[in-house]
Each structure stands twice: as structure tokens, then as C-alpha cells.
Amino acid sequence: MKTKLILAAALVAAVPATGMAQQRTPPASILVVDTNRVLRECTACVAATAALQAQEATFQQRTQALAGPLQTEQQSIQQALQAAGALSGTARTNAENALRPRIQAFQQRQQSAEQELRTLQQNFESTRLNVSLQLNQRLQPIFNQIMTARGANLVISTDARLASAPTLDITSEVLAQLNRQVPSVSVTPLPQQQQPAAGQQQPRPQQPRPGDR
């Protein structure tokens, strides 16, 4: 599991085209923003990343707590099966029959542990996605506002540019506005109706990744 936050795309804002049939496409007026820095340094991002890292640590601890006893029991059962296999006739049959309930109980415990860990991991991924969605939703209006104020018609991530003048960089302005408007976000799983469908692959857009391990 990774405690990364994601942004919707490298192309983060653009003026919608209107009346294209009547107007020529205006010259591009571009601003750039370091989205990696924004989602690494914003107040809400730092707090959310710390909370996600704590959840990840809890998951790892629970994984170890479940795996240890299961591994010990599995080894013990294997030794008992080997001992039963060394017998013959009725003695072997009786020994193997005596082990069946123990094997079944082990399998049930193993399945239960796997299900618990799957649920924990799904909740973690849902929480991470929820945090990213909240930040993305609040960033878009900030991009649009700064773009309008600067008379620009396009904002791109620094990940998508080869070079640009420092005067085009609005990272600090975006970061300041985000900190004022979004001091915190909810570090909880998505509401049930927003959960991705089972087996549906979640998009893997461009960074930023605060706290990525």
C-alpha cells in the first residue's frame, strides 16, 4: 500500500472553448504549477499523509499479527502429517482422521485472516482516493481563479513542460490559496455509493505523491 495522493491530470486547467465556429482559437497564454510541491506541502496534505501512513503501519502490524500464529500452526500440522505418514494401516488412518478437524479449523482461520486484510486494504485505498478527490475538487477552482486573474487560458503541471520562465510559475500562489481554503480534509473511505466497482481498475494519473514510500 502506498500513501500517495494523485492529481487528475498533468493538464490541470484550461478555458473551455465557446463559439468555436464563430471565433478563432486564441493564442495560448500559459501558466505552470508544481503540483508535486502543492500536494506535498499543503497543510491538509501533510496531515492527510501522516494519517495515511499511520493506517498503513497499522495494516502492516495486523498482517504480522495474523501471519505469525498461522505460520506456526501450519508448520505444526505439517509435522503431524509427516508423523502420520510414517505410520501404517489403521494407525495411519486414525492419525490422519484425527488431523482433519484441525486442518479444517486452520483453513477457516486462514480464510478469515485473508478476508480481514483484503477489507483493510480496500478501506485504505478508498481513503487515499477520497483524500485525493477532495483536494482535486478544491484545486480546480483555484486554478481557474488564478488563470482568470492573470489573463491566461491554460495551466499545466510542471511535469508536462520542458522549460518555462519563472514569472509563469503560480505554485506559491496556489499553495497559499489552498491552505486558506482547505485547512483539512476527511481521511475516511469514500461513501458507499462512490466506491469503485469490484475489479474495476482505478486510474493512475500523474503525481503529486506526498508521503510516497
Which pLDDT value is given to residue 1?
Answer: 66
pLDDT in tens, 28-41: 898 999 999 999 99
The pLDDT tens digits for 65-112 are 999 999 999 999 999 999 999 999 999 999 999 999 999 999 999 999
- Return d(Cα 197, Cα 195) in angstroms, integer: 6
With a cut of 70, say whether residue 179 has pLDDT above it.
yes
Sign of the Cα torsion 170, 172, 12, 158 reads positive
- Mean pLDDT of the region 116-128: 96
Could you tell me the pTM of the whole model?
Answer: 0.74
What pLDDT shows up at residue 159?
83
Cell of 107: 483453513
The per-residue pLDDT for 107 is 97
Where exactly are the structural domains of the chain? 1-13+30-141+201-213
pLDDT greater than 90 at residue 193: no
Q: What is the pLDDT of residues 6-34, one digit of tens each?
A: 555 444 554 454 444 456 777 889 899 99
Mean pLDDT rounded to a whole number for the chain: 84
Q: Is the pLDDT of residue 141 over 70?
A: yes
Q: Is the pLDDT of residue 208 over 60?
A: no
Q: What is the pLDDT of residue 92?
A: 94
CB contact at 8 A, 73 and 106: yes
Q: What pLDDT, on the 0 to 100 scale, is given for residue 164? A: 81
DSSP code per residue over the chain: -------S-SEEEEPPP-STTTSPPPPP-EEEE-HHHHHHHSHHHHHHHHHHHHHHHHHHHHHHHHHHHHHHHHHHHHHHHHHHHTS-HHHHHHHHHHHHHHHHHHHHHHHHHHHHHHHHHHHHHHHHHHHHHHHHHHHHHHHHHHHHHHT-SEEEEGGG-S---GGGB-HHHHHHHHHHH-S----SPPPGGGSPPTTPPPP------TT--
**pLDDT cut 70: percent of the chain above it:** 79
